[in-house]
Chains A and B, each alone.
Chain A
Amino acid sequence: MKIKLNGEDLELNDGAVLTDICAKLEIDSKGVAFAIDCDVIPRDEWASTKLADGTEVMMIRAACGG
């Protein structure tokens, strides 16, 4: 299936959950956060938050800044 990650297509296995995005992108989950439909998803719910085809996910990560 395909989700929209920050507006870009990302192919994931059917039944994927939020933590699978980190695994797919090979990104450490430290410094990362997710929102779906403007709802911030608590970290302890990532592994149980199932994604569907077309789900729009916002994902941010740490950046340098003052």
Chain B
Amino acid sequence: MSKLVIAGREFNSRLFLGTGKFSSNDLMKDSIVASETEMVTVAMKRISLGDANDDMLKHIVDKNIQLLPNTSGVRDAKEAVFAAKMSREAFGTNWLKLEIHPDPRYLLPDSIETLKATEELVKLGFVVLPYCQADPVLCKRLEEAGAATVMPLAAPIGSNKGLRTEDFLKIIIEQSNVPVVVDAGIGAPSHAAAAMELGADACLVNTAIAVAGDPVRMAVAFRDAVKCGREAYEAGLGAVTAGEAVASSPLTSFLG
């Protein structure tokens, strides 16, 4: 499997992990280790005087892991830029998962604000990985604005529905000059493998691992699925016929 390169940084793993929804920090920590991921998303919250001991960062122990702070909770480009500046001070990285989804019911990204924020954040020196609609035209615009990747959704966040946007993901992958990370909606390892077979450069998975019966074993399953899918893509999948069979064995030279 070839290495993934984003903004000049090499990654051995093509599975990115979200840290939300785990039932404990220990399970999150063990799942991160089992997944072999090298990119982990983190969020930010306002501190309240009662939760001073809740330090999740100490559970991300591998120093090689790239933290990817997100802007979850912002409603427009202006708030996203503020959140990005806060995250840069908090985490000491200029990498950013830009997500602007003002509607709490479907959590769908606001394309106009996302493009606006990408343009501004790139100028401010951020490495911007925008969560976006599976819209090929938008993805080209984000790329032109300087996004380090595009991260189109497979289905709504946390829905586990799989590659509902498959036809558009194919166009995005075909056209993109930056890595394509399929983000949101991946609910099973088979979905991740399918995305990788299409030629996606990476998958970002959270809910499907965090709420699994055994998150650590599910992390292993996703680790292997992403590897398998990528390996198959790089090996070159066979052509799909119109429907007729094509013999794999010689039919004529056995019984004469």
Contacts and interface: CB of A to CB of B under 8 A. Distances in A.
Contacts of A61: 44-45, 47, 55, 90
Interface string B105-148: 00000000000000000000000000000000000000000000
B41 A31 contact: no
A65 B225 CA distance: 23
Contact of B55 (A6, A8, A27, A58): A27
Contacts of B86: 33, 35, 40, 60
Interface string A28-66: 101111110010111100000000000000111111111
Interface of B: 18-22, 25, 28, 41-49, 52, 55-58, 70, 72, 82, 85-87, 89-92, 157-158, 204, 206-207
12 contacts: A5-B47, A31-B42, A32-B47, A33-B44, A33-B90, A60-B90, A61-B44, A61-B55, A64-B19, A64-B28, A65-B41, A65-B43
Q: Interface size bucket, A side?
A: 20 to 34
Contacts of A42: 89
Contacts of B58: 28
Contacts of B41: 65-66
A41 B89 contact: yes
Nearest to B71: A65
B44 to A, nearest CB: 4
B49 A62 contact: no
A65 B47 contact: no
B48 A6 contact: yes
A33 B92 CA distance: 10
Given A33-B44, A40-B82, A65 B90 contact: no
